[in-house]
């Protein structure tokens, strides 16, 4: 049985290591492959060329755009507007693709221990597929969400709009962009870190490196910090459950 991940870039990804360790622990001869795609338009050819595939993970920047190529989408993933897991059903005459979002489970379970009553308002940095899953969960937790984008659209803020009062109001900050990810570890968003306090919680979905420049700077001002490693493992466990269900 064969599985893999699609995205670009994939040099940072621990998914292959994560699943190969699981296969070894379970005594399985399964394989896991990295499929770096220049465009999501390559997806149908990939599915056709690899008839042995039974499931795929999806990472940036294709978590939303890949939805157009699927036959069915789980209701939670549909509502969130992003897919990070695809289960592949094959018959002699047809290949059927169903999308799921296990980021929702991974993020919610890893965030819960950090939440405090004062975390009523959140800034979500980024508007891609990962940010959509994050926003979905935060709203389900009853937390108001303000999206921040380099290219803000209606109801979104730009980074130039972030000021001291905005940061003081939003005590939960989720970094959901690839900025600062390996190998560009010194990159950081134009964020007003000096407005952070020990009451802030800053969560960066990046797990490679373990402490991004964003988290390093947030820590200087006393904010509680967390990276995306626990989320990675939690969503991977749920992905495995999805792939193995009938």
Same domain? 113 vs 219? yes
> Are both 84 and 119 inside the same structural domain?
no
Where in the sequence is the domain holding 88, given as residue range(s)? 2-101+232-244
63 is annotated as an active-site residue: yes
pLDDT at 223 over 90: yes
Residues 216 and 114 in one domain: yes
Q: Looking at the structure, do residues 44 and 59 belong to the same domain, yes or no?
A: yes
Closest among 59, 44, 34 to 97, alpha carbons compared: 44
Report the pLDDT value the prediction gives residue 232, as an integer from 0 to 100: 93
Residue 196 and residue 131 in one domain: yes
Looking at the structure, tell me whether residues 74 and 94 fall in a common domain: yes
Q: What is the pLDDT of residue 91?
A: 87
Report the pLDDT value the prediction gives residue 13, as an integer from 0 to 100: 87
| 3-state DSSP assignment of residue 138 | helix
pLDDT tier, 93 (very low <50, low <70, confident <90, very high otherwise):
confident
Identify the pLDDT of residue 183: 92
| Percent of the residues in the chain that have a pLDDT greater than 70, as a whole number | 100
Model confidence pLDDT, tens digit, residues 43-68: 999 999 999 999 999 999 999 999 99
Q: Tokens 């290591």 sit at which residue?
A: 17
- Which pLDDT score is estimated for 246? 63
How many beta carbons lie within 10 A of that of residue 79, not counting itself? 14
Task: State yes or no: pLDDT of 204 exceeds 80.
Answer: yes
Distance CA 137, CA 171 (A): 16
What's the CATH code of the domain at 176? 3.40.50.720
Specify whether 227 is located in the same domain as 237: no
Q: H-type helices in the chain, by residue range?
A: 15-25, 43-49, 75-80, 103-111, 129-140, 164-169, 213-220, 229-244
One domain for residues 218 and 109 = yes
Q: How many domains does the chain have?
A: 2
Both 189 and 85 in one domain: the answer is no
**Strand 121-125 vs strand 95-100: parallel, antiparallel, or unpaired?**
unpaired
The predicted model gives 126-154 an average pLDDT of 96
Same domain as 120, residue 28: no
Judge if 75 and 60 occupy the same domain.
yes
Q: Determine which one of 16, 22, 45, 63 is catalytic.
A: 63
CA distance 148 to 61: 17
Q: 153-178 pLDDT, tens per residue?
A: 999 999 999 999 999 999 999 999 99
Match 């005459």 to its residue by tokens. Answer: 93
pTM: 0.93
pLDDT confidence band for 114 (50 / 70 / 90)? very high
Residues 122, 211 share a domain: yes
Give me the CATH number covering residue 96: 3.40.50.10860
């Amino acid at each position: 049985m064969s599985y893999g991940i699609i995205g670009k870039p994939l040099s940072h990804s621990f998914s292959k290591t994560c699943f190969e360790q699981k296969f070894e622990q379970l005594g399985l001869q399964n394989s896991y492959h990295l499929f770096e795609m220049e465009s999501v338009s390559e997806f149908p050819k990939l599915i056709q060329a690899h008839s042995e595939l039974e499931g795929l993970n999806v990472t940036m920047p294709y978590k939303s755009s890949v939805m157009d190529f699927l036959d069915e989408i789980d209701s939670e993933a549909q509502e969130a507007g992003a897919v990070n897991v695809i289960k592949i059903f094959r018959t002699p005459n047809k290949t059927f693709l169903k999308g799921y979002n296990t980021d929702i489970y991974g993020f919610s379970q890893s965030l819960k221990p950090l939440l405090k009553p004062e975390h009523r308002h959140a800034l979500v940095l980024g508007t891609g597929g990962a940010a959509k899953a994050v926003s979905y969960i935060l709203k389900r937790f009853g937390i108001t969400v303000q999206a921040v984008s380099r290219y803000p659209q209606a109801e979104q803020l730009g980074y130039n709009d972030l000021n001291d009062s905005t940061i003081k109001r939003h005590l939960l900050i989720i970094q959901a962009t690839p900025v600062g990810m390996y190998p560009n570890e010194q990159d950081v968003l134009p964020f007003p870190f000096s407005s952070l306090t020990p009451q802030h919680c800053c969560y960066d979905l990046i797990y490679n490196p373990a402490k991004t420049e964003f988290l390093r700077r947030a820590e200087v001002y006393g904010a509680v910090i967390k990276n995306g490693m626990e989320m990675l493992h939690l969503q991977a466990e749920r992905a495995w459950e999805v792939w193995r269900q009938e």
